[in-house]
Amino acid sequence: MRLNYFDDLARGNFKHDAAGRTVFFPLGVFGKGRILPDAATEQRLRDRLATQYQLAIVVAIALGVLHNLLLMLVVGLGVVAWMSLRSLLLVAAYPPSDLRLSWKERYASPPSSGNVGTQWFLMVCCVLLVAGGLLLLVVGDTLDQRVAGIAVIVLFGAAGIARAYGLRQGTAR
């Protein structure tokens, strides 16, 4: 089963150059793009990237249940490194592009951009999770609880900011 949300997330790693060729950015805004030879390659990469995002969500939820911050950090960074390396290896044979992907381009087209209600729902969820992280930070009894509160604030605060930017860009059109 394919969820459009993850397909839309993957879409942010692609753009077209002046010649109309599709450029894929395996590291997003942190690296140069690679020029793809055809639409079939583009679709294959989009599908793989969407699957990687789905896997990352499953791993994040599974690690969150464990309540072991060191394990969460090590495995989380390992998953990010694996996803990045895999993306780089998939396109290593394709010619590099001089184009860069800006933060504005990456988040100008938010996931599920056609459904503003979904975007607002996800934005409210981010705000509530940040509030929960603040509560955990303030009333947490242990260092682990406070660190978890900070992690929640950073993660969902960043997601909320990206979501708000995407909503702003979407409503400005």
**Beta sheet of 34-35, edge-to-edge order:** 14-16, 22-24, 34-35
pTM: 0.64
List the pLDDT tens digit at each of the 173 positions of the chain. 445 777 777 888 888 888 889 998 888 878 888 899 999 999 998 888 888 888 877 877 777 776 666 777 787 788 888 888 888 888 888 998 888 877 777 766 555 445 677 778 888 988 999 999 899 889 988 888 888 888 888 888 888 887 787 777 665 44
| In contact, 25 and 16? CB cutoff 8 Å | no
The domains of the chain are located at 1-101, 108-173
User: E strand or H helix at 22, and its extent?
Assistant: strand 22-24
pLDDT at 112: 45
pLDDT at 130: 92
